[in-house]
Amino acid sequence: MKADLECLPCFLKQAFEAARMATDDEMVQRRVLDEVTKLLPSLSLDKTPPKISRGIHQLVREASGTEDPYRGVKEKYNRIALSLYPELKDKVKASDDPLLFAIRVAIAGNIIDFGIGLDFDIDRDLDRVLGAEFAIFDYGEFKETLTRAKKVLYLADNAGEVVFDRVLIECLDKEVIYAVKESPIINDALTDDAKFCGIDKVVQIISSGVDAPGTVLGLCSQEFLKYYNDADLIISKGQGNFEVLSDEPKPIFFLLIVKCSVVARYLGVKVRDIVLKKRSG
Amino acid sequence: MKADLECLPCFLKQAFEAARMATDDEMVQRRVLDEVTKLLPSLSLDKTPPKISRGIHQLVREASGTEDPYRGVKEKYNRIALSLYPELKDKVKASDDPLLFAIRVAIAGNIIDFGIGLDFDIDRDLDRVLGAEFAIFDYGEFKETLTRAKKVLYLADNAGEVVFDRVLIECLDKEVIYAVKESPIINDALTDDAKFCGIDKVVQIISSGVDAPGTVLGLCSQEFLKYYNDADLIISKGQGNFEVLSDEPKPIFFLLIVKCSVVARYLGVKVRDIVLKKRSG
């Protein structure tokens, strides 16, 4: 899907949040914000939002002189998520439909997001999401595709969220490739985060080669694209991956919490809704 | 209070919302947004937010060629609010403390706000606010000041909200001057809105002379300033009026719903909290 006019103020808000993560110096924050502001009028909205916000976050990192503004929060949420792991596993085990509950868990992990600026509180939101109605629920198709699948590719989203993904992956009973981002972009999971969350104990981790907040295929490594093209089930986490892959002709299932009104309108659902959606068409 | 860096993305968001109200033409919306974007780097944050956003909304009106983008929603919410009037009056009458409940009603009217982009839903939010805990509750001082007050000045905020103000004013048992904005700014109430909501039946309406989303004293008419200086109780509605008057040495009571994190931090409360606050110092 393409970006919307409404994304422009949101990009500036994201730049502000990133600048605040990068430095406490308000002079630097203002300089970063002014640099991003000057970029906005020249932006074409004919691209996906993650492709555009990649450039914006690059500029923030350069203008603030900070390699990884979100490192601290990534570490924090890796730790918090790991501490929840035993409880999540117990809940899956106690569930009537462990696979479905594990899907809920994986989606619930998507609350950990510093990109879009939607407030979150793990304790409050975890229970809400675990008990929420699905706004889109292609569960039947998911089970069917999973049953036949031999090569499952799992596209990670954020640090911390990896633990929740692990709970789902451990339910799939398949060989899974877990793809993370190549280098720092917002709080997206990198290889180190995935390892810290222990997912290397159950699956192989690869990098997509991308430094955008979504798996932009044109930026992916050849190695990743081989897995992508061969996969007979792709599990895509989060809104960023949805934004870049919504129109791709692949067996993709999108697991996400809807975080903004642009995507909500596109999907015909509401902000904060939870979605398990087969790629249409 | 002064503006914050965080206000810059918010100003752009407000400009987008206003552009969308002004026209359906996306080319014009983009042009408006780009004009406002170019203005941002030159903005000094040494002013109050309403003083800055006044200039931004002026630019939106000029660039979109629309005199009053919010006319339609103002008329809509005037009608909706009027339809609620009998029910609100009944609730006040049935209350143990009618004055306090009428204050709640007046604050609840502040949910009708198209400035800051906080979603609202009258049915849902009205009940929430009418039953919410006050985050700041200077009710004792308010009653004391009211008892002694001879000249009450009431600073209106938004169209529709006027009906809720009327419910409070009818409880005060005082002569009240009700001050609205001079010309269109977001969905702020103008004289016509106040009359439509029937407040002219109970009090005298005046214009503050201002076209900012807050009663910026430097822009007020001499007539208004005379009432302002003579008043021994000023009831100030909404966040915009709080932002411009928070430091003024006057007997002001601020009634508002907190709509953004900048004001929430300033007051030491949370977004969506309700506040009855005596001007401190």
Band of pLDDT at residue B281, cut at 50, 70 and 90: low
Distance between CA atoms of residues A222 and A220, nearest Å: 7
Indicate the Cα dihedral angle A192, A198, A199, A201, nearest 10°.
120
Sort out which chain B residues have CB atoms less than 8 A from A33's CB and list them.
5, 8-9, 40
Average pLDDT over residues B220-244: 98
CB-based contact B151:B233 (threshold 8 Å): yes
Chain B residue whose CA is closest to A30: B5
- Partnered with residue A234 across adjacent β-strands are A153, A252
CA of B248 to nearest chain A CA: how many angstroms apart? 27
Q: What pLDDT score does B265 carry?
A: 96
Chain B residue whose CA is closest to A41: B34
DSSP code string of A220-276? --HHHHHHHHH-SEEEEEHHHHHHHHTT--S-EEEEEE--SHHHHHHHTS-TT-EEE
Strands (E), chain B: 134-137, 152-155, 176-180, 204-207, 233-237, 252-257, 274-278
B15 Cβ under 8 Å from any chain A Cβ: yes
A124 Cβ under 8 Å from any chain B Cβ: no
A219 Cβ under 8 Å from any chain B Cβ: no
What number of helices (H) and strands (E) belong to chain B? 12, 7
Distance between CA atoms of residues B11 and B116, nearest Å: 9
Tokens (6 digits) for B212: 């900012």
Distance between CA atoms of residues A78 and A81, nearest Å: 5
CA of B28 to nearest chain A CA: how many angstroms apart? 11
Band of pLDDT at residue A113, cut at 50, 70 and 90: confident
B5: nearest CB among A8, A10, A26: A26
Band of pLDDT at residue B115, cut at 50, 70 and 90: confident
pLDDT over 90, % of chain A: 94
Residues of chain B by 3-state class (helix, strand, coil), percent to 5: 55, 10, 30
pLDDT digits (tens, 9 = 90+) for A148-175: 999 999 999 999 999 999 999 999 999 9
pLDDT digits (tens, 9 = 90+) for B131-186: 999 999 999 999 999 999 999 999 999 999 999 999 999 999 999 999 999 999 99
Q: What pLDDT score does A156 carry?
A: 98
B183 Cβ under 8 Å from any chain A Cβ: no
Fill in the DSSP letter of residue B189.
Answer: -
Distance between CA atoms of residues B85 and B62, nearest Å: 36
Chain B residue whose CA is closest to A37: B37
Pairing, β B134-137 against β B274-278:
parallel
Q: Is the pLDDT at B117 greater than 80, yes or no?
A: no
Band of pLDDT at residue A117, cut at 50, 70 and 90: low
DSSP code string of B156-184? --BTTHHHHHHHHHHHH-S-EEEEE-SS-
Sort out which chain B residues have CB atoms less than 8 A from A16's CB and list them.
5-6, 8-9
Q: What pLDDT score does A114 carry?
A: 82
Q: What pLDDT score does B121 carry?
A: 85
What average pLDDT does the structure give for chain A? Answer: 95
Residue A141 main-chain phi, psi, to 5 deg:
-60, -35
Q: What pLDDT score does A121 carry?
A: 85
B142-159 exposure pattern, b = at least 16 Cβ within 10 A, e = fewer: beebbeebeebbbbbbbb
Q: Say if residue B260 is exposed, middle or buried (CB neighbours under 10 Å; 0-12, 13-18, 19+).
A: buried
A16: nearest CB among B6, B15, B38: B6
Distance between CA atoms of residues B236 and B22, nearest Å: 28
A15/B5 Cβ within 8 A: no
Q: What pLDDT score does A42 carry?
A: 95
pLDDT digits (tens, 9 = 90+) for A249-268: 999 999 999 999 999 999 99
Q: What pLDDT score does B280 carry?
A: 74
What average pLDDT does the structure give for chain B? Answer: 95
pTM over 0.90: yes
Fill in the DSSP letter of residue B45.
Answer: S
Q: What pLDDT score does B123 carry?
A: 83
Indicate left, alpha or beta for B18 from its phi (over 0: left) and psi (-120 to 50: alpha): alpha
Band of pLDDT at residue A281, cut at 50, 70 and 90: low
Band of pLDDT at residue B113, cut at 50, 70 and 90: confident
Q: Is the pLDDT at A56 greater than 90, yes or no?
A: yes
Distance between CA atoms of residues B256 and B240, nearest Å: 9
How many A×B Cβ pairs under 8 Å? 50
pLDDT digits (tens, 9 = 90+) for B1-40: 999 999 999 999 999 999 999 999 999 999 999 999 999 9
The residues, ordered by sequence, that sit 6+ positions from B248 with a Cβ below 8 Å of its Cβ are B217, B279
Q: What pLDDT score does B225 carry?
A: 98
Interface of B with A in 29-48 (CB under 8 A): 29-30, 33-34, 37-38, 40-41
B13: nearest CB among A9, A34, A38: A9
